[in-house]
Amino acid sequence: MTTTEALDRLAAWPRLRLANLPTPLEPVPRLSAAIADPGPEILVKMDNDTGFALGGNKVRKLEFELGPGRLEGVSHLITAGGPQSNHCRVTAAAAARLGLSCILVLNGPEPEEARGNALIHRLFGADIRTVATREERDSAMGDIAADISREGGQAHVLPLGASTGLGSLGYVSAMVELAAQLDALEPSPRTWIFVSASSCGTLAGLLLGISLLGRKDVRLVGVSADLSAFDMRMKAAALASEGAALLGWKGEVREGALAAADEFVGRAYGVPTAAGDEATALFGRTAGIVLDPVYTAKAASGMLSWIRKGSVPPEDRVVFVHTGGHPALLA
């Protein structure tokens, strides 16, 4: 299948329309000047503004994962995440919209007072089940799905972050959207795209989109929230290949277009860092943009570091993909 045929197949793919698209690509000149002067122009792809259930990147992926025909006979959606999971927030909202029951398997104890995403999970009517560790979530989801089946229901289990080959198609579409926005701007020698990565569906979709479009002028930088750089590259490449197979595209996934940075995680997943706090303050006071401490603040700190160290030439352009998550800031 040719690239054009693959892109046509993507455009025609059955989707549950949830997101407000296209999301804006906003220049942030005061932020650019505050980081380096002279330095690269910075723009923010505002995927925090996808709209549904307070927005974020998970909305695009769920449009494909919950597409028409995939939920026939389904009575329950089951998924898993941390206590402040953005994916769980959007899944619970989608279940409420569709009239389905939703069970969330969350690791860690029940909070004494639910705040941030933990509060929103409950406002959307989700049934919360807790396990002690992240490693126990998958088996718990399987056990719950089996119980529902024995009781005459049918569960649709969504993997962590909706990060599957199918879910990644949401960010292939996003890359097509972003490429059109970039082409409407003044030309730049190269565009560097910085994005947070954990379950890697977003990163994989962007990588596949760059490959499909043949954008040799684009470099993708995944900034880890928890994974090692090696695991991030392997996972993104595998999911991108799955997405390519779904589209019937036989071209090469350009793994060389992807750089992986794992040095901005800090002590652990979900634990704020000083560099992330600085990035949050800088985005707020120079651009009026809110970051979250789990994903976007760490990704932004990586972007700041790369620019300040001169890893991004000043004549190039930078796009920061804002994947949302701001309820966690209020937890």
Residue 1 has pLDDT above 90, yes or no: no
Could you give the percent of the chain with pLDDT greater than 90? 96
Residue 329 has pLDDT above 90, yes or no: no
Mean pLDDT of 106-126: 93
Mean pLDDT of 234-256: 97
CA nearest to 28, candidates 282, 228, 327, 299: 282
Look at residue 91 in the predicted model and tell me its pLDDT. 98
CA nearest to 236, candidates 193, 273, 272: 193
CA nearest to 195, candidates 218, 169, 162: 218
Q: How confident is the model at residue 103 (pLDDT cuts 50, 70, 90)?
A: very high
Mean pLDDT of 16-45: 97
Mean pLDDT of 227-248: 98
In tens, the pLDDT along 175-204 reads: 999 999 999 999 999 999 999 999 999 999
Peptide bond into 327 cis (omega under 30): no
Mean pLDDT of 155-164: 96
Residue 37 has pLDDT above 90, yes or no: no
Q: What dihedral angle (degrees, nearest 10) is formed by the CA atoms of 99, 105, 108, 109?
A: 50
Range with lowest mean pLDDT among 101-115, 150-164, 259-273, 285-299: 101-115
Could you give the percent of the chain with pLDDT greater than 70? 100
Domains and their CATH numbers in the chain? 3-57+164-330 (3.40.50.1100), 60-162 (3.40.50.1100)
Residue 218 has pLDDT above 90, yes or no: yes
Mean pLDDT of 65-77: 96
Look at residue 274 in the predicted model and tell me its pLDDT. 98
Q: How confident is the model at residue 109 (pLDDT cuts 50, 70, 90)?
A: confident
d(CA 133, CA 105): 10
Residue 77: both structure tokens together: 């959606």
Residue 123 has pLDDT above 90, yes or no: yes
Residue 108 has pLDDT above 90, yes or no: no
Range with lowest mean pLDDT among 107-116, 133-142, 280-289: 107-116
Look at residue 304 in the predicted model and tell me its pLDDT. 98
Mean pLDDT of 23-39: 96
Average predicted confidence (pLDDT) for the chain: 96
CA angle in degrees (0–180, nearest 5) for 108-109-110: 125
d(CA 267, CA 100): 38
pTM score of the predicted model: 0.97
Look at residue 110 in the predicted model and tell me its pLDDT. 80
Mean pLDDT of 122-131: 97
Look at residue 235 in the predicted model and tell me its pLDDT. 98
In tens, the pLDDT along 266-313 reads: 999 999 999 999 999 999 999 999 999 999 999 999 999 999 999 999
